[in-house]
Amino acid sequence: MGESEVIHSWSAPRSLSTSLMYSFSQRNDVEVLDEPLYAHFLRVTGVDRPYREEVLSKMEPDGNKVVNDIIFGPGRKKYRFCKHMSKQRLQGLTDDLMKKGKHFILIRNPLDILPSFDKVVPPSFFELGLAELVSIYNELRELGKPPPVIDAAELQQDPETTLRGLCDDLKIPFQPEMLNWEAGPKSVDGVWAPWWYSSVHKSTCFKEAKTYPQPFPFSHYDLLEQSLPLYNMLRRHVRRKSSLLSSPLPPPNLPVPENEKLLAWVGDEIVPRDSAKVSVFDSVVQGGDSVWEGLRVYNGKVFKLEEHLDRLFDSAKALAFENVPTRDEIKEAIFKTLIRNGMFDNSHIRLSLTRGKKVTSGMSPAFNLYGCTLIVLAEWKPPVYDNTRGIVLVAATTRRNSPNNLDSKIHHNNLLNNILAKIEGNNAKADDAIMLDQDGYVSETNATNMFIVKKGRVLTPHADYCLPGITRATVMDLVVKEQLILEERRISLSEVHTADEVWTTGTMGELSPVVKVDGRVIGNGEVGPVTRRLQAAYKKLTEQEFGVPIPTYLKT
């Protein structure tokens, strides 16, 4: 007899925990304990079980004695594997239970747990124990011992890889014997085995899950809604994921790493980034049926907020949206989102207003009976183009929508036309793509409005096919204030190729100089004097009082 190193397995019921216990029991260096805290749990909670009296008579009911004398008592083998149900960790137990030994968490999708749960016990949020499982994970992390998390689906799909990974995390050698066991009851089974273990007694290994699951019992729908977010929260911490549970692509690097943790407004609440989702019944999912605005924050103010809201409401009205939030409600959502994120400068907002959820999938707005969905996505985001050295454009073959088809004055989310042009730009290794109208004249780029300078005159296309951008209008005003000649007319592509200067305008990019178009160098290939002059004027404008102050912001 000597001291055994304890391995704690924490799980919810019906999570293949018994199969995993059988797996560890095949090792020559492990002894196992099947839910050693069960009697303590029954005594303290008073819950009823068909085998309650038998458990209380055959197992130690004092939890702290169990921890001290059984879980951490002398052992005959190097390791002691303790299978725990998370709900059995009750208040009043000694801190040693969590501080000593090695811990890991086994999770399983409640969709797979609930169909078979109520054969013995009616399922409930308490009985599932997922909240306590999250609590266990967080407590161990705070102790500096973040536990490995494995998913039962991984065990079923690829037992050996999953067990090898778990053994690596626990810093114990893997043994091939863990992959198989004999069928039938085991000497290590708890006294409750006849009620719970009939299925696992028929097994000899981790069996692959059936291709098609059984129907879900919708009497447990509310419980699924409560428990699934907790499962998903733990699932994010699974260290080794197979293609079954994850994308084959590695996690991408964010353009601005600080945006990994942000808060977004969706509907009527502020939620963390990974929880910022809309319904599959939402019109933006069903048909891109939504309107949007891009906003920029400078020095505690939302620049041109009123103008952007004017356009948002105009677009929503043109698309016949109903039950639209009020102007004050949208402003409040914007301000609350910015304040919660602490974003008072160098930030960008993607403001979207969808027609809202539908009562059933389909095209007709008659199905939209819930009201609009408001989304406020604020990010740390500097201007997206190189406004110092300039950018490169190419002309796309994809034409800009005609007012005969879809009026560009509606700032809608149905952006496939622009995306197809952007793909052409990406393929050409350009920053953006110029889109022409149906007659072959320049309209705009896939994302911005355009200006050119020729012999001291500033020209920009009519806003017939292109969006009449708010940054565009601001720059047009600046051109006049700077006492330059402004012309709004049709512009051919060859005029762009031979221009003295070219720049684009947009909320995300501000004024972006263009130094090359379709392989032609613009001017001398550097940022031109008119462009610099207007960039300076625009910067000065953003630094002045041309924005709506964010409440509670204090300039420091």
Instruction: List, in order of start, the domains of the chain with CATH numbers.
Output: 5-236 (3.40.50.300), 257-380 (3.30.470.10), 391-544 (3.20.10.10)
For residue 226, the surrounding DSSP H or E stretch is: helix 221-235
Q: Please name the amino acid found at residue 314.
A: D
User: Do residues 44 and 90 lie in contact, with contact meaning Cβ atoms separated by under 8 Å?
Assistant: yes
> Who contacts 517 (Cβ-Cβ below 8 Å, separation ≥6)?
392, 393, 394, 395, 434, 496, 497, 502
Encoding tokens for residue 229?
């977010």
- Is a pLDDT exceeding 80 seen at residue 553? no
Cα distances (Å, whole numbers) of residue 175 to 21, 167, 250:
14, 9, 29
Closest CA to 374 of 276, 303, 442: 276
330-366 per-position pLDDT tens digit = 999 999 999 999 999 999 999 999 999 999 999 999 9
Report the SS3 class of residue 331.
helix
Tell me, what's the pLDDT at 244?
A: 53
Tell me, what's the pLDDT at 246?
A: 59
- Is a pLDDT exceeding 60 seen at residue 243? no
- State the chain's mean pLDDT as an integer: 94
Tell me, what's the pLDDT at 554?
A: 64
381-425 per-position pLDDT tens digit = 999 999 999 999 999 999 999 999 999 999 999 999 999 999 999
249-287 per-position pLDDT tens digit = 788 999 999 999 999 999 999 999 999 999 999 999 999
Q: pLDDT band at 556, cuts 50/70/90? A: very low
Q: Please name the amino acid found at residue 321.
A: F
pTM for the model stands at: 0.87
Closest CA to 117 of 10, 243, 219: 219
User: Do residues 230 and 133 lie in contact, with contact meaning Cβ atoms separated by under 8 Å?
Assistant: yes
Q: At what angle do helices 305-318 and 470-481 cross, to 10 degrees?
A: 130
**Mean pLDDT, rounded, for 168-189:** 96
DSSP code, position 238 = B
CB atoms within 10 A of CB 317: 12
CA 502 – CA 480 distance, rounded (Å):
17
Report the SS3 class of residue 529.
helix
Closest CA to 265 of 349, 173, 344: 349
What b/e sequence results for 438-464 when a residue is b if at least 16 CB atoms lie within 10 Å of its CB, and e otherwise? eeebbbbbbbbbbbbbbeeebbbbebb
Cα distances (Å, whole numbers) of residue 259 to 303, 345, 377, 433:
21, 14, 11, 27
Closest CA to 446 of 481, 396, 488, 408: 396
136 backbone dihedrals φ, ψ, rounded to 5°: -65, -45
131-172 per-position pLDDT tens digit = 999 999 999 999 999 999 999 999 999 999 999 999 999 999
Q: Please name the amino acid found at residue 324.
A: V
The H helix count followed by the E strand count for the chain is 20, 23
